[in-house]
Amino acid sequence: MDKVFELISKEKERQEKQINLIPSENIAFEGVYEAVGSCLANKYAEGYPGRRYYQGNGLVDEIEILAQERGKKLFGVEHLNVQPYSGSPANSAVQMALLEAGDKICGLKLSAGGHLTHGHPKITFSGKYFESVQYDVEEDGRIDYDKLAQLVEQSRPKMIMAGTTAYPFILDWEKFGKMADLVGAWLVADISHIAGLVVGGVHPSPSPFVDVITSTTHKSLRGPRGAVIGVTKKGLNKDIDLAKKIDRAVFPGLQGGPHMNTIAGMAVAFEEAGKPEFGQYAKQVVANAKALETSLRSEGLKVYGTENHLMVVEVGFEKGKEAAVALEEAGIVCNANTIPHDKAGPFEPSGIRLGSPMETSKGLKEKDFEKIGKKIGEVIKKLGEGD
């Protein structure tokens, strides 16, 4: 056996045996594996269906159109670009399409649970080329929408990014929409983490209130490692060229040929996520996260959340990485994470981030997550005893 496949086999075994609580990781549907590993990996298809720069694309055109149509129905959008390679290029394409260099962008701070591409200053595309206005969370980890509305009215950004990577509460899309409308800003909902919960009916959809939706297609959605950009009815009504602007920003603006095997995987995942069984899965994801939160609290840990699939847990000043390493040694995989208003740095934060999607995909229920919470409590307590 080639060394590569030997390592892949070991990684498969690791994923099956270890308890994986990283919120952004999941187990893809079986059909997604087949599509991603198919002959479509051989195909170049620069351009869009009916407008390719290569010949031999008749069949892949049909596949991309199928992915678009299934995704539009799933996300409740009028137009869907399925070509972004991942979530960061998707967000960058939207910003490139709708903003000019130096325009003001408003997003949640990275340390408060936001994403790098939502305007994190200096080191990202969004923070380098646009003037960034960042909003924060309160001591309880929640967004204060009144404070945010004041910030938006004072700063008058051209774009508001509503999305998170470590925010354990339900987002109020309607309030975001009213703020954006008040100042005439584009409103972009990045639902990468909660896409599966949105389409599964356990988190409100942003579609009626925002102009653009971006999302990865793995995480809670259980698809391939890719991303989509959706334009809503509201967005199209504001600018009839919005869909065209976004398509041009993706290709040729930021990318070359799309990964047709990934797009085929999306089509498979969108079909699966539209079934009633997926709604039951989404409900179980939330129920399991709640059970884990309750168990962790019973162990005396401070938990931020949860109303969705994830939570942030305080483990001691600058102890996040140490806790994550100790948990991995105990067979539980998670990631170190900042807590709200963390006085520690991002490389030695004071918390860990936990999520329920992957273990729910394995079939675990509330009782299992209660046991996992007790195990985590034991590991964290031992760390404290070592001080």
Catalytic residue positions?
44, 46, 190, 216, 219, 225
> The tokens of 96 are what?
């490139």
Q: How far apart are CA 330 and CA 90, in angstroms?
A: 36
Q: How far apart are CA 142 and CA 139, in angstroms?
A: 7
Q: String of b and e for 139-163 (b: at least 16 CB within 10 Å)? A: eebebebeebbebbeeeebbbbbbb
Are β-strands 212-216 and 186-190 bridged in parallel, bridged antiparallel, or unpaired?
parallel
Contacts of residue 305, defined as CB under 8 A and 6 or more positions apart, other chains included, come to 141, 168, 169, 289, 293, 311, 312
Rounded Cα gap, residues 106 and 83, in angstroms: 25
**Rounded CA gap, 156 and 134, in Å?**
12
Residue among 230, 252, 258, 253 at smallest CA distance from 242: 230
